[in-house]
Amino acid sequence: MSDAERSYETATARLEEIIRRLDTGEAGLRETLDLVKEGRGLVEYCAAELDAVSQGLEELQLGALVARLEGTTTSPADEEHRS
């Protein structure tokens, strides 16, 4: 799967396929190694995607908190346009 084709959803779907294949016990040693390597890369990709989304949510919440503390009603999107 190329980086251009990769998304969190496609990565998790591929991880499920890998797990199913490994669970069958039919994969040979080399295939098992290849699947585990691919799975590890997918897990790392998914973790990075989740971290990025989490960071974005924290920033949005921080922007809303600052607006409330300042007594304004501007949204975080409004704040971005001011910058």
Q: 52 Cβ partners below 8 Å, 6+ apart? A: none
Q: Give the torsion through C-alpha atoms of 11, 13, 16, 22, to 10 deg.
A: -70
Give me the chain's average pLDDT, please.
Answer: 85
Can you give the pLDDT at residue 76? 54
Per-domain residue ranges of the chain: 8-82
Which residue is associated with the tokens 């990075």? 48
pLDDT (tens digit per residue) in 59-77: 878 778 778 888 865 555 5
Instruction: Give pLDDT < 50 ranges for the chain.
Output: none
Contact 45, 11 (CB under 8 A): yes
